[in-house]
Structure 1
Amino acid sequence: MTLMMTFSPDFLKMAKSLRSKWKRKMRAEKRKKNGPKELARLKVTLGLGVKGEISMKDVQEIATVVPVEKLKEKVADADMEGEDDTANMDMDSKRSKKTMLNEHGQYPTWMNQRHAKKLKGKRTAKKGKAKKQKGLAW
């Protein structure tokens, strides 16, 4: 027997308190109020409010303008050369995959201390150190 439940969209919203509803309402009103101002500011920033179109001469003072065809050729050439590089690229070629140690005996930076301690315990147990039996020694 399967039990099917349907959820209303209100159920999927996490916050339902009066305070959060009020905050949501006020944020929506703020967006309505500030929307036209932000749009006008964006148009002025882009230069659309003054002339209707951005002139390339103004942009050339700030950045170098390169035709699209040259960029496409450059990307295509980089893809052809990059195939060999990506095949040979490893995270760290001198790192042991079993112990995760590099040539200096260091673990990777992303590994947490608990995991490193666990691996160290496995490594020392394999070296031949026998663990003591718990209990009375008679």
Structure 2
Amino acid sequence: MAKSMRSRWKRKCRAIKRERYAVKELARLKKMLGIKEEKVTENEVMESDQVIFLDAGQINKKNKAKKATEDDEDVEMSSDDEKIEVDGDNGKKRIFSTKTLKDQNGQYPIWLHKRKIAKINRSTQKKIKKKSKKRKQK
């Protein structure tokens, strides 16, 4: 759709800007990380001159490859109802269930939207009804 002369020119200008800003961004990242610039001879190729951006799919593939190599070690498998400890306000620890999203007191986290809570409750009610129907049939 966007093939007019103006849009082509704008895309070309944005590509030039991306290249220019990539150099500045790389310098800023190196400064933040405390990486010192080293003088490199012409024969050496420095790989740190590029910043590689990965999307979530590529990161997952790398993580799966790492896990496949680490499977030789004894690793405890997590259950479906995994518990997560979170440091709350006032230094208190709260333990959340990943399945129900409730803490040890039966409260939902503050950041969870009311619509999401209602949706979770509806799904649990449906499961309870199905189980009760199966029990009545037996």
TM-score clears 0.5: no
Q: Normalising by structure 2, what TM-score? A: 0.31
Would you tell me which structure has more strand in proportion to its own residues?
2
